Structure 1
Amino acid sequence: MDRKFLVAALLYAVAGMCYGIYMAASKDHSLHPAHAHILLLGFVTSFIYGVIHKLWLGVTAGKLATVQFALHNVGTVVMGVALTLLLAQKLPEETLGPILGLSSVLVLISAVLMLVMCLKSAKSST
């Protein structure tokens, strides 16, 4: 799972950097919150999760790790797209608000699952 998170993190880094270059070239920084979410949730958080899996969890996390990976990435991608659409005023907040709320909950559940896996790993190693 560590490699999957690392690859995902690097994909988010490339996407976030392209986003930043686009904003700089267009001189329109109105989408910077979406850019920041892609980099922080996508690149930074995925990288940290990958390190946790590599150094502490390994293969012991099992199916829970797969669920956590899926929830984190679905939530992050949906949030990035929905924030972009909202900030670019392509769809109204009434439409995107619930989508952003759901994506936020998916990312939160993913973080809670990481906590659970870390706590289980700590118990099994003592």
Structure 2
Amino acid sequence: MSNLPSTEFTATVHCAPPVLTVRLTGDLDYDTSDELLDAVTTQLTHDLALRDVHLDFGELTAIDSSGLSALLMIHRRTSTTGATLHLDCRPGFLDRMLHITNVLDHLTTPAANPPTQHSHPDGDYTEIGVP
């Protein structure tokens, strides 16, 4: 019997608005990245009150370019909803990939406030933008 960690992928979702936490186990790769993306997208679509999305990489065993692509898409979707993406418990190999590809700062930048509507003082039109 081997003491090597399992590479079977699981994404365990815990949603307690305004926080979504997804705990990742195993390899995040071509075969599994859609599962992660779908899990996060489903939660963001069904609960618009989410403000923080935490991805817990404490039990991640590997990541490839498809996994990185999924992280970039998750960042795009969290930013669109005004939520902030957090990359928690990153193993060294993930940090190296994020530094080599120069996306760590991009992925962990706090989300801008979602657009809101403001009435113009004379009531003629509505402006869309960030207050």
By the TM > 0.5 criterion, same fold? no
Higher relative CO (CA 8 A, sep ≥ 6), structure 1 or 2?
1
Return the index of the structure with the highest Cα Rg: 2
- Higher relative helix content: 1
TM-score range, shorter chain: under 0.3
TM-score, normalisation: structure 1: 0.27
- Higher relative strand content: 2
